A and B are shown apart, each in its own frame.
Chain A
Amino acid sequence: EVQLLESGGGLVQPGGSLRLSCAASGFTFNNFAMSWVRQAPGKGLEWVSAISGRGSTPYYADFLTGRFTISRDNSMNTLYLQMNSLRAEDTAIYYCVKDHKSLQYFDSWGQGTLVTVSS
């Protein structure tokens, strides 16, 4: 059974940084691209970033303007999202998701971790 367990969320001031982690199990981690998808309060789902199975190719939503960095450690079966220069509009639940195949639909989701950007 695929399991994705996010951690690292919390309250941070505008302009601050956070690093999210996602521990994966139940599948061969390095065979699959992984993504982060977020949901702001009262809003819909929004894709944020993806990374190839080997970790060599990252992809980002245009609105991020270079503030976030996705990475993975295949030896630890862990996905990361480094978030810098955080803004109030980054407040959301961040989901770790497994791509079915590279850059396609998402076949497994974590429970999410809440990031709140507020002074």
Chain B
Amino acid sequence: EIQMTQSPSTMSASVGDRVTITCRASLSISSWLAWYQHKPGKAPKLLIYQASSLESGVPSRFSGSGSGTEFTLTISSLQPDDFATYYCQQYSTYHRTFGQGTKVEIK
């Protein structure tokens, strides 16, 4: 099983801030990585796939980068609707695994 580790686990930020979340894989997953946004009581929402491809309909302030074992999700200017928990997920193997999540809170 490939382990995914996100940092930080929690962060406080203000509207307009640039936010960066890191995800590390326990072994190389090439670019087989996705990012999701999850709000309480809602279904998770796909943001990024293939490490850097923006899902249709997702605002361009979201971007992803990285390959191999190190990846980042960046929100260029945090908006009120962006306060949520973010998860990375690898799909290099059929046993898909998620990071533990990064909760973005209001400062």
How many Å from the CB of A75 to the closest CB on chain B? 26
Whether, in the assembled complex, A32 has its beta carbon less than 8 Å from a beta carbon of chain B, the answer is no
B44 at the interface (CB under 8 A from A): yes
B97 — nearest CB in chain A belongs to which residue?
A: A47
Query: How far is it, in angstroms, between the C-alpha of A61 and the C-alpha of B97 when the chains are bound?
Result: 10
Assess the B95–A111 pair: CB atoms within 8 A: no
**Interface-forming stretch among A19-27, A66-74, A97-105?**
A97-105
- Report how many A-B pairs have Cβ atoms within 8 Å: 57
Min distance, Cβ A93 to any Cβ of chain B, angstroms? 10
Q: A95-B44, A109-B43, A110-B43 are in contact. Are A44 and B100 (CB under 8 A)?
A: yes
Listed stretches B19-27, B67-75, B76-84, B86-94; interface member: B86-94
Taking the nearest CB of chain B, how far is it from the CB of A26, in angstroms? Answer: 14
A107 and B55 within 8 A (CB): yes
Q: Of the candidates B34, B87, B95, which one forms a contact with A44 in the assembled complex, judged by CB atoms under 8 Å apart?
A: B87
Size of A's binding interface in residues, CB under 8 A: 21
Majority secondary structure of chain B interface residues (helix, strand, loop or mixed): loop
- Tell me the chain B residues, 28-49 only, with Cβ under 8 Å from chain A: 32, 34, 36, 38, 42-46, 49
Bound together, the chains give a CA A11 to CA B38 distance in angstroms of 25
Cα A46 to Cα B38 in complex, Å, equals 13
CB pair A103–B46 under 8 Å, yes or no, is: no
Chain A interface (Cβ < 8 Å from any Cβ of B): 35, 44-47, 50, 59, 61-62, 95, 100, 103-112
Using a CB–CB distance below 8 Å, which chain B residues touch chain A?
1, 32, 34, 36, 38, 42-46, 49, 55, 87, 89, 91, 94-101
